[in-house]
Chain A
Amino acid sequence: MGNASEIFKFTRLSIIWLCLIFIPVWLVAYAVGIFIPYFLIKDQQNIFFDVFQALVPIIAVLVFIPINAMFMVLFERRGLALFTVRSGPNRVGVDGLLQTAADAVKLLFKEDITPRGADIAMFTLAPITFFAPSVFAAIPLLAAVTNDHPLFHIVNLPTGIFYVLAASSVPVVGIVMGGWASNNKYSLVGGLRSAAQAISYEIPLVLSLVSMCMMAKSLDVVQIANQQAGGILDWNIFGGGALRGIDKFIALNLVGNTIDAKTILDAAYPSGILSYIAAGVLIVCSVIMFLLYLTGACAEINRIPFDLPEAESELVSGYNTEYSGIKFAIFFLAEFTNLFIVSSIAVVMFMGGGGNPIPAWLLDPWWPSFASSVGPMFDLVTAKGLMLVDEHTFFPALWVIAKTYAFVFFAVLIRGTLPRFRIDQLMDFGWKRLIPLSLIVFLVMAFARVLVNVHLVMPAGGAP
């Protein structure tokens, strides 16, 4: 790890950049969702009133993705520099603040070369096919990360996670297209590797998410995220809610409601000691599932140690060897967007979404009042009861951002540590280890789940 001043600079840079990302997103969402409908159109019967409000999620994502990718590139480069006794880019702007912005400008103005013999239509479509699904995949997650804000409610699908998974497995088509159309052998090998890898690692990835859907009895990302509210014990990573009974037991005991506490403990673990054992099994299983998700996600987005499609020491640059200029920039953009999306899926499905990690009963008297007084201060204008940012949105959004970037940081740490797998070892690892393991763990969870009640209803008058 670098010295203290480098860590300080890195933190400062990240905070400034996060402001640079979220203030424009906030302003645009405010302008399109509140300012134009309520202050310019005013007439709620006007069709454009609804049109503008429905455009908010799309415009927010389209503003967010490029700026976020620019930050993530810098975050990754500076983060790697911290791990590897270097300084990283620190010349453009204060501490290299604008390095990636400069890089983006450079890439936009570079000559866009199409190699001779390339299939021009496919060559041009490939980056788009790679990038567009990641935008689609990001949109439903918005509902979960903004805690189902009215403006983002429109994108909340009942089959949210199913849709996100479907959309995020399309990019591999773009990679294969790019590899095939480039008329380059390295690209071809990279593209084919990518297809093989995506098929093998999607199974454990999906099974790990399905197990969490099974625990939550829902595919709706908002519902799954909200079920985990109430502190770290309620998070899906600890047994998909197997600790929820104990959490509520402690909460009720603290307010002195011991009778309800006993009832809720019995409701949560109906079969006595067998249920407690099942809860333990669930915790172990869901931690395994979480690790499987991380592995599968790393493979899905082609990051070290699974970056075989663009293995630099073997295939020059894999499927994007022949790309330059704006097309390369789009590939680059999509890669980092995918990293962000898998991180936010991990946050929503396993790490409690916008939930506070500290158990609610520790923070009880002062935190809700603090949140409800501080949250609204970040709204510009309250318009007819509809606030862009309020206590239900502000802190959940902060937690989601913090947790998601923690995952991104973890991915950077992995990149700075591990060498690359070989393709046959990758396949062995996927088919002979991960897939059987995920199937077995999934079955065990399905049986253990019967013995534990993870959907508890608090008695009236109990703790929150």
Chain B
Amino acid sequence: MATELKTHSLKTDEMIINMGPQHPATHGVLRLIVNLDGEIVKHVEPVIGHLHRGQEWQGQNRTWFQYQALIDRVDYLSGMFTSWAMARAAEKVDGLVVPERAEWLRIIASEMNRITSHLLWLGTYLIDLGAMFGFPFYPFREREKLFVLLEEIAGQRMMFNYIRIGGVQRDPKPDWFKRLKEFTEDFPDRVDEYEAIVSENPIFLKRTQGVGILPKAVAVDYGVTGPTLRCSGVNYDLRRFKPYSMYEKLEFEVPTFSGDGDTQERYIARVREMRESNKILKQCLDMIQPGEIMAKKQVAGMRIKAGEGFEAVEGPRGVLGCYIISNGSDKPFRFRWRNPSFSNLSVLPELLVGHPIADVMAIFGSIDVIIPDVDR
């Protein structure tokens, strides 16, 4: 009798939930097919491509001059870095030497862009954790100040098109540097403000500590880069590892953690990176000298010498690279992006399995993925 009774156990099934593409927290149009056992995630499959615009193909069908304006759309939160990666690759192929002042301006604009990107991440990440209304608006206050400054030099708030092949588009007025200086002096206090609200918040710590652990080996296997990789114990930052532009002359730290990174460490790393970027901005403002800002004439029929080359920069999300083949005409012959978000997203299924559904967005938010950057 007893053996017969054993067969009457409760039968449970896994439930499949489609998170996205229309979901308020997937940062755009990512679709996650999630298998749930109760509230525990058993399997995840990211479906990408909803935002595919054929950026590489567009590049091959436009002139160099035209495509420069489109590049910012690859990763709309860090347009300076996409422009810079492409400009560096094209300069390498063309054999251009960029004027020193242009390099400084590139660093200044990019680090400002890095801060705005991290600020947006900070705000939206807190939304992912459920702080729907309070905190997220504070980072946007400082972000707005930076956008006002960036708009003045680039003519646009997010789609800058500021860094061009051979230099930068425009030389800012002396007054602009003064205002940037004021910002850099004020900014650390504002970061202290964010940390006062968030860093010690018991619910925040409960939600982030030990959640979404990414071991070093897995991170390296999937080609994860950026703060997410550095939290997993790999000290890999292109600005240090393979210094480009003027980064050799600058003093800054790369926040790296020794253990397996969890979401709290990713938060700490990004907040520290904002402070370091601010430090870089201060140094740049002291070191910048007057001079030329452009080495190549910006005309519609601009040509790049025949050849091929790959160059990368350290973006806010990781290594952002650009591979170019030129046949000497006014259009790129072949074009290829290496996007940090794409490789970072690919590790997501490894991170999510075993966590409750509430952590899906917490972990997804912590690796800072931008969907247009994944889909191009």
Contact = CB atoms under 8 A, between A and B. Distances in A.
A250 interface: no
A85 B134 CA distance: 9
Nearest to A86: B137
17 contacts: A84-B136, A85-B141, A86-B137, A189-B39, A308-B358, A312-B132, A313-B129, A313-B130, A313-B132, A313-B361, A415-B134, A417-B131, A419-B201, A419-B203, A420-B129, A423-B356, A424-B356
Contacts of B359: 422
B235 to A, nearest CB: 30
Contact of B132 (A304, A316, A421): A304
Interface string B336-376: 00000000000000000000111111000000000000000
A406 B133 CA distance: 19
A115 to B, nearest CB: 15
B24 interface: yes
Contact of B24 (A83, A304, A307, A312): A312
A313 B203 contact: no
Contacts of A66: none
Given A84-B138, A312-B132, A417-B197, A423 B358 contact: yes
Nearest to B23: A316
B24 A313 contact: yes
Interface residues of B, number: 32
A319 B135 CA distance: 25
A3 interface: no
Given A189-B39, A313-B24, A313-B25, A420 B130 contact: yes
B20 to A, nearest CB: 10
Given A83-B134, A421-B203, 9 more contacts: A304-B132, A304-B133, A312-B130, A313-B128, A415-B133, A419-B129, A419-B207, A420-B131, A423-B358
A311 B17 CA distance: 15
B262 to A, nearest CB: 14
Interface string B43-61: 0000000000000000000
A307 B25 CA distance: 16
A85 B141 CA distance: 8
Contact of A421 (B17, B137, B206): B206
A417 B198 CA distance: 9
A186 B39 CA distance: 11
From B128, B130, B132, residue with most partner A Cβ within 10 Å: B130
A333 B33 CA distance: 34
A311 B204 CA distance: 16
Given A85-B137, A313-B130, A418-B131, A425 B206 contact: yes
A393 B312 CA distance: 75
B127 interface: yes
Contacts of B25: 312-314
Interface of B: 15, 17, 23-25, 39, 126-138, 141, 197, 201, 203-204, 206-207, 356-361
Nearest to A317: B24
A336 B358 CA distance: 25
A305 interface: yes
A80 interface: yes
Contacts of B15: 185
From A86, A315, A416, A422, residue with most partner B Cβ within 10 Å: A422
A420 B134 CA distance: 12
Nearest to A420: B130
Contacts of A316: 23-24
Contacts of B135: 84, 416-417
A418 B23 CA distance: 22
B14 to A, nearest CB: 12
A422 B134 contact: no
A185 B203 contact: no
Interface in A402-446: 415-425
Contact of A186 (B17, B127, B360, B361): B17
Contacts of B356: 422-424
B272 to A, nearest CB: 21
B130 A80 contact: no
A421 B207 CA distance: 7
A422 to B, nearest CB: 4
A200 B138 CA distance: 34
Interface string A302-342: 00110110011111100000000000000000000000000
A305 B130 contact: yes
Contact of B361 (A83, A305, A314, A424): A314
A307 B39 contact: no
B358 A422 contact: yes
A305 B141 CA distance: 24
Nearest to B358: A422
B173 to A, nearest CB: 29
Nearest to B357: A314
Contacts of B131: 304, 417-420
Nearest to A185: B17
Nearest to A84: B137
A74 to B, nearest CB: 14
Contacts of A84: 133-138
A423 B36 CA distance: 14
From A84, A314, A418, A421, residue with most partner B Cβ within 10 Å: A314
Contacts of B39: 189, 423-424
Given A85-B138, A305-B203, A419 B130 contact: yes
A417 B203 CA distance: 11
Contacts of A421: 130, 203, 206-207
From B23, B132, B197, B204, residue with most partner A Cβ within 10 Å: B132
Given A189-B357, A305-B130, A418 B207 contact: no
The 4 closest A-B pairs by CB, nearest first: A420-B130, A416-B134, A313-B25, A84-B137
Contacts of A186: 17
A424 B39 CA distance: 9
A308 B201 CA distance: 18
Interface in A265-321: 304-305, 307-308, 311-316
A168 B129 CA distance: 29
A313 B127 contact: yes
B210 to A, nearest CB: 12
A418 B17 contact: no
A287 B113 CA distance: 49
Interface string A225-259: 00000000000000000000000000000000000
A49 to B, nearest CB: 50
Interface in A159-206: 185-186, 189
Contacts of A415: 132-134
